Amino acid sequence: MAAARAAGAALAILIASVTAAGAQPSGVSLAPVSFAALPGWAADDQSAAFATFVSSCRKPKPGPVLPAGRSLKAACLAALHENIRNPAATRTFFERHFEPFVVNGADNGFYTGYFEPEFTGSPRRNAVHSEPLLALPRKMRNPAPDRAAIEGGAFSGQKLELVWLDPVDAFFVHIQGSARIRLDDGKVIRVRFAGRNGLPFTPIGRVLVQRGELTLEQADMAGIRAWLAAHPDQARALMRENKSYIFFRPDTGRAAEAGPIGGSGLALTAGRSIAIDDQIWPYGIPVWIDAPLPSGDFRRLTVAQDTGAAIKGAARADIFLGAGVEAGAEAGQLKHSGTFVVLLPRRAGR
């Protein structure tokens, strides 16, 4: 990381931020850096990232415009047609078709993690499973109801209930955006993001820190769940501080081992798919992450394939870590700064 900081400082050429078509939004600075200056670049096996990139190329989705003269189209055409079979060839592909830029300065990136959890649930309401996950209403009210109003019955009678969960579990499914749910009879179903009410996301961990209930270090997923369990009389009101509400749809017809579907409409790849601010970066853009995570230094090429209400900013990303208990434990601890390097497609003729 020190090498990246030095290289970034030596080569820093800030690109003026304007709002004209084809330019980056105001407040985004890009400093060119060489691939050789990225710690871990030569050691990473970018083959998994290449497969993830190819999946985005097969199903492109409109998004923000990249700086003038840069487009993913040429790189995608090459990825779909070139016969790339080994890590060295994969690395060469990215170096030939992209240029790396440090976004907003070294160590100014911020990373969290997310995963696909598995919870118990029921097709019918019962004493334990008393909170439904709702399907997207055909028509959203204006103004949109907040979490408290929806949980209070704003859409009752429309038969939107997909499955019933413990209220705290249901809240965390909203945070993750997808889940596997094991029903009373042992059957496992999956749900995925379908839409939201559009109201701002409020992290309840931040609320607990501001109130002096938890320290910043304690406000991870495990700490928040422990607080909710210890304060059942206050849990509902705290969760309703987050006015954002997520709606779901059944996730069927896919292999059990396949990752959940991200905002791009594609199955996510553990350790290679990230959620970004989709008002700034398009899906499919490669991002090199250099950050010290709980499991060790994370120096890896990833691909933007998802987004989230809490993911705001040019150097902000949520790393998809997979499914299950171990992925959840790591995701719950992940709140780290690091270097965010976007790989912009080379301009035509370069």
Q: What is the pLDDT along the chain (350 residues), one digit of tens a residue?
A: 333 333 333 222 222 222 233 445 556 889 999 999 999 999 999 998 999 999 999 988 888 888 777 889 999 999 999 878 788 999 999 999 999 999 988 788 999 999 888 899 999 999 999 999 999 999 888 899 999 999 999 999 999 999 999 999 999 999 988 899 999 898 989 999 999 999 999 999 999 999 999 998 899 888 999 999 999 999 999 999 999 999 999 998 887 778 888 999 999 999 999 999 999 999 999 999 999 877 788 999 999 999 988 899 999 999 999 988 888 888 888 888 999 999 999 987 56
- For strands 109-116 and 335-345, give the pairing: antiparallel
Distance from chain centroid for Cα 227: 25
What pLDDT is recorded for position 246? 96
pTM for the structure as a whole: 0.73
> In terms of Cα–Cα distance, which of 284, 275, 110 is closest to 176?
275
State which fold the 2-109+275-317+337-345 domain adopts: Barwin-like endoglucanases (2.40.40)
Q: How far apart are CA 244 and CA 309, in angstroms?
A: 8
Q: Which one is the CATH code of 117-201+242-250: 1.20.1250.30, 1.10.287.110, 2.40.240.50, 2.40.10.340?
A: 2.40.240.50
Distance from chain centroid for Cα 229: 27
What pLDDT is recorded for position 30? 92
In degrees to the nearest 10, what's the CA dihedral of 48, 65, 276, 28?
120
Q: Is 31 exposed, middle or buried (0-12, 13-18, 19+ CB in 10 A)?
A: buried
Helices 167-176 & 232-239 angle (0-180, nearest 10): 30
Domain ranges of the chain: 2-109+275-317+337-345, 117-201+242-250
Query: N- to C-terminal Cα distance for the chain?
Result: 28
Q: How many CA atoms lie within 13 A of 13 on its CB side?
A: 6
Phi, psi (rounded to 5 degrees) for 305: -135, 5
What pLDDT is recorded for position 350? 62
The answer to whether the peptide bond before residue 132 is cis (omega within 30 degrees of 0) is no
What pLDDT is recorded for position 25? 53
pLDDT tens figures, 69-119: 788 999 999 999 987 878 899 999 999 999 999 998 878 899 999 988 889
Q: How far apart are CA 335 and CA 220, in angstroms?
A: 8
What pLDDT is recorded for position 26? 55
> In terms of Cα–Cα distance, which of 107, 112, 171 is closest to 310?
112
What pLDDT is recorded for position 14? 24
Compute CA distances 56 → 53, 219, 304, 315, whole Å. 5, 34, 9, 21
What pLDDT is recorded for position 8? 31
What pLDDT is recorded for position 6? 31
At residue 341, the 3 state secondary structure works out as strand
pLDDT tens figures, 244-285: 999 999 998 887 778 888 999 999 999 999 999 999 999 999
Q: How many CA atoms lie within 13 A of 81 on its CB side?
A: 6
- For strands 316-323 and 335-345, give the pairing: unpaired
What pLDDT is recorded for position 17? 26
Number of neighbours of residue 81 by Cβ within 10 angstroms = 8
Q: What amino acid occupies position 104?
A: N
Compute CA distances 125 → 229, 301, 342, whole Å. 20, 43, 46
What pLDDT is recorded for position 85? 77
What pLDDT is recorded for position 340? 96
